[in-house]
Amino acid sequence: MKEKIKIGMIGLGGRGMGLLRLVILNMSDVEVVALCDRYEDRQTKAADKVEEKQGSRPFVTIDYQEVLSIDEIDAVIISTSWADHIDIAIASMEAGKYVATEVGGAYSVQECWRLVEAYERTKIPCMILENCCYGRDELMVLNMVKQGLFGEIVHCAGGYQHDLRDEIAYGYENRHYRLDNYINRNCENYPTHEIGPIARILDINRGNRMVSLVSMASKAKGMKEYIKNEKSHDSELAKLDFMQGDIVTTIIKCAHGETITITLDTTLPRYYSRGFTVRGTKGMYTEENQSVYIDGSHDHYQSWNKNWGNAEEFREKYEHPIWSKFLEEGVQGGHGGADWLVLADFFESVKKGTQTPLDVYDMASWMCISTLSEDSIAMGGHPIAIPDFTNGKWITRQ
């Protein structure tokens, strides 16, 4: 086992800088030796931060292949825009580097297969950095499910329900990729924040799998209205019709009969929520009002609002061990600590030379939802088969 590892970071926008500043530079067992971004100002800003914290200036480049050619690098973190994740992940595996990539959706099923095939050829682990799998509530609910509190799980739901109108509308000023995606595509473009925790509950790729989906998109009105009111001076943008529907609903069917509903809801006014919901034969959890409902245990099921927030009462008994330890040691890092936990788990695998906790099959099957939903929407909600990236191994994989 290595005591300390050396890493390279590719993609230094908002997320890359956040991970660097709030997590990685506070980890004593990780040294950042190379940084890469298409923009020189972002390279410089990140290199300054690394030098300030580590005392040594990392190598910087605009070409990620130069990062991958550095022998001493053990692992790379990819936090680029979505369209480059898979190509860089494949190149990283080919170069023998452990790879962790930020979340996003795929643009074709073929690129997901190329990703899986690169892993099977090189055997270099590749992890999707799905921090929501490490959220405190998501892990508590996982623990409840595994201890049978909700009985047999029948249905789960979740969403990426985040008002991003500002981020999208100012995409060109901020050199951000979402704007072009929203102008040109119509799909469930960000499925993994909700699919990740649900996949763990339903043992996806480890005894179960997602078999097919249907997707429907609403009309696209939110961005146009927002731009009219907030950015009418941008005459080019104000003229545009967006392709991306305001609300995209996708229903997924699993091999063992469960259904999953996921919702993309990013261009209308709303509060933030991932709408995480788990329904079983003995009870349910829902994030919307932070409630746990157990069959036969409550008098007031018809006036449930008195019980909103009762999930806290289950905390002591069902807190996930990962979180009990984290709370004891002191929570650190962004997104309530989830960013710290996901990276710490990845780096632990790198140090030990073992498989990563979320693997290439998870990444391919979660990311492919985007491109499959695009096909389904284009055909009026037609059912689409979800590939089995494990080629049958899901039946016996642990």
Ligand X SMILES: NC(=O)c1ccc[n+]([C@@H]2O[C@H](COP(=O)([O-])OP(=O)(O)OC[C@H]3O[C@@H](n4cnc5c(N)ncnc54)[C@H](O)[C@@H]3O)[C@@H](O)[C@H]2O)c1
Rounding to the nearest 10 degrees, give the CA dihedral for residues 285, 286, 292, 294: -50
The only residue of 7, 10, 145, 157 in contact with ligand X, by rule CB under 6 A: 10
Cα–Cα separations (whole angstroms), residue 72 to 9, 34, 67, 246: 14, 10, 10, 46
Work out how close the CB of 253 gets to ligand X at its nearest, in angstroms, rounded to a whole number: 26
Query: Toward ligand X, which CB reaches closer, 142 or 168?
Result: 168
- Please give the backbone phi and psi of residue 114, each rounded to the nearest 5 degrees, phi first: -60, -35
**Cα end-to-end span (Å), the chain:** 24
Site for ligand X in 175-214 (CB under 6 A): 176-177
Q: Does 12 bind ligand X (CB under 6 A)?
A: yes
Query: Toward ligand X, which CB reaches closer, 8 or 245?
Result: 8
The only residue of 6, 7, 8, 11 in contact with ligand X, by rule CB under 6 A: 11
Query: Toward ligand X, which CB reaches closer, 274 or 320?
Result: 274
Q: Does 265 bind ligand X (CB under 6 A)?
A: no
Give the residue at shortest CB distance from ligand X.
13
Q: What are the structure tokens assigned to 45, written together?
A: 């800003």
The only residue of 8, 9, 64, 351 in contact with ligand X, by rule CB under 6 A: 64
Q: What are the structure tokens assigned to 392, written together?
A: 């049958």
Q: Does 104 bind ligand X (CB under 6 A)?
A: yes
**β 75-78/59-61 pair status:** unpaired
Ranges of beta strands (E only) in 203-268 are 210-217, 247-254, 259-265
Neighbours of 83 (CB within 10 A): 15
The only residue of 21, 66, 84, 375 in contact with ligand X, by rule CB under 6 A: 84
Residue 74 near residue 2 (C-beta atoms within 8 A): yes
Site string for ligand X, 323-362 (x = CB under 6 A): ------------x---------------------------
Helix 321-329 / helix 338-352 crossing angle, nearest 10 deg: 100
**Interface residue list for ligand X (CB under 6 A):** 10-16, 36-39, 42, 64, 79-82, 84, 102-104, 131, 176-177, 335
